[in-house]
């Protein structure tokens, strides 16, 4: 039986773009070459390879910093000077190891044209989460805290957020039961119990209010239908960082839809997308949160809180203006750009790979 988390890979972007197939083929190519050059895998995920005192880290789509043996180190020092990192991640700081970033045309693996592409909004946000982590949990709780609770922490009967947004929070976790409702609820509880002060004090009331609702889903729409039925798509990338940008299908799905979106990801992620030529609709949403760092506190002024302030402000504007034609132009532009990237990739890769071989041979 397939659990709800793995069913996401039957979604439209995966089936139409075949992005997982393209990613795995590239990984197989790189790993095969490493084996030919005498490297051996040094971890169970085949991401870290060693030959003598030389190390090669191969990490695509995921955040390459997770391959370090010591997370306490700052990003510039995660690996030694004899390490080469092969990744699609954008690294915004200097490093003592070499980073070989894939050509941007790699993102062409997400090229697709959505079949469900008529924007007919009747709720505020679409917020869809399958794999749970503490940031996604905090976003879910903060959304409810802002709407459903008064300053004294009691429920505000004037608002019912369960009817305002399209939300699902599946509570899938790397550790725990991911098939039974009771197991998923335990995943949610365990994640909350791992929070530290002041988060647990700030979010205790909304946590207690929703814990028995987990796993949470307040609609029966498909993922694609939910995305075009909201005024805005809230996208949370798996990894958000002040030093690296790691992108996945979540971002490119939103870019290809004729729906305004906001992206919670690494610092300057939206600016990076803009620099690549994507239409980020900055005239619809200013994305002012994009330059903020993550402050690790739960008070107003945090990136997550400001993110939701901007989302709410933007919703109020677009409900009045309904920028349908603007959103459609952006989606069509981004679809075409990804198509061009896919076509450009073979040539870009042919020029890029020999420069990598020179570093790892």
Task: Give residue 39's pLDDT.
Answer: 98
Is residue 3 pLDDT above 50, yes or no? no
Distance CA 279, CA 218 (A): 31
Is residue 297 pLDDT above 50, yes or no? no
What digits encode the pLDDT tens for the residues 180-234? 999 999 999 999 999 887 888 889 999 999 999 999 999 999 999 999 999 999 9
Task: Characterize the bridge pairing of strands 83-87 and 98-101.
Answer: parallel
CB 67 within 8 A of CB 57: yes
What digits encode the pLDDT tens for the residues 259-271? 999 999 989 999 9
Selection from 91, 216, 117 nearest residue 166 by Cα: 216
Task: Give residue 2's pLDDT.
Answer: 43
Query: What are the φ/ψ torsions at residue 293 (nearest 5 degrees)?
Result: -95, 165
Mean pLDDT of the chain: 92
Selection from 171, 190, 159, 202 nearest residue 302 by Cα: 202
Selection from 162, 161, 140, 158 nearest residue 150 by Cα: 158
Distance CA 117, CA 227 (A): 9
* pTM metric for this prediction: 0.93
> pLDDT band at residue 69, thresholds of 50, 70 and 90?
very high
> pLDDT band at residue 298, thresholds of 50, 70 and 90?
very low
How many separate helices (H) and strands (E) can be counted in the chain?
A: 11, 12
Q: What is the mean pLDDT of residues 68-72?
A: 91
Is residue 8 pLDDT above 60, yes or no? no
What digits encode the pLDDT tens for the residues 189-199? 999 999 887 88
> pLDDT band at residue 71, thresholds of 50, 70 and 90?
confident
């Amino acid at each position: 039986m397939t659990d709800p988390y793995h069913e996401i890979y039957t979604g439209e972007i995966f089936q139409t773009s075949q992005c997982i197939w393209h990613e795995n083929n590239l990984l197989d190519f790189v790993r095969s070459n490493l084996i030919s050059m005498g490297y051996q895998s040094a971890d169970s995920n085949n991401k870290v390879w060693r030959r003598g005192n030389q190390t090669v880290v191969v990490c695509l789509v995921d955040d390459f910093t997770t391959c370090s043996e010591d997370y306490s180190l700052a990003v510039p020092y995660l690996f030694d000077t004899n390490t080469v990192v092969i990744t699609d991640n954008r690294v915004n700081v200097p490093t003592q190891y070499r980073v070989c970033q894939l050509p941007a045309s790699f993102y062409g693996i997400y090229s697709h044209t959505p079949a469900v592409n008529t924007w007919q909004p009747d709720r505020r946000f679409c917020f869809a989460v399958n794999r749970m982590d503490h940031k996604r949990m905090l976003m879910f709780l903060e959304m409810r805290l802002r709407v459903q609770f008064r300053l004294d922490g009691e429920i505000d009967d004037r608002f019912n957020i369960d009817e305002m947004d399209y939300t699902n929070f599946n509570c899938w976790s790397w550790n725990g039961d991911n098939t039974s409702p009771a197991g998923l609820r335990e995943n949610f509880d365990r994640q909350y119990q791992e929070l530290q002060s002041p988060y647990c004090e700030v979010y205790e009331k909304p946590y207690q209010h929703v814990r028995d609702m987990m796993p949470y889903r307040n609609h029966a729409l498909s993922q694609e239908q939910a995305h075009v039925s909201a005024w805005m798509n809230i996208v949370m990338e798996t990894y958000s960082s002040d030093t690296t940008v790691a992108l996945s299908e979540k971002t490119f799905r939103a870019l290809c839809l004729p729906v305004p979106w906001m992206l919670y990801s690494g610092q300057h992620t939206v600016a990076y997308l803009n620099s690549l030529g994507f239409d980020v609709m900055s005239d619809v949403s200013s994305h002012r949160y994009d330059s903020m760092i993550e402050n690790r506190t739960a008070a107003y002024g945090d990136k997550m809180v400001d993110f939701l302030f901007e989302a709410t402000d933007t919703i109020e504007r677009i409900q009045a203006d309904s920028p349908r034609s603007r959103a459609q132009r952006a989606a069509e532009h981004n679809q075409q750009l990804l198509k061009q990237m896919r076509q450009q990739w073979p040539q870009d890769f042919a020029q890029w790979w020999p420069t990598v071989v020179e570093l790892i041979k």
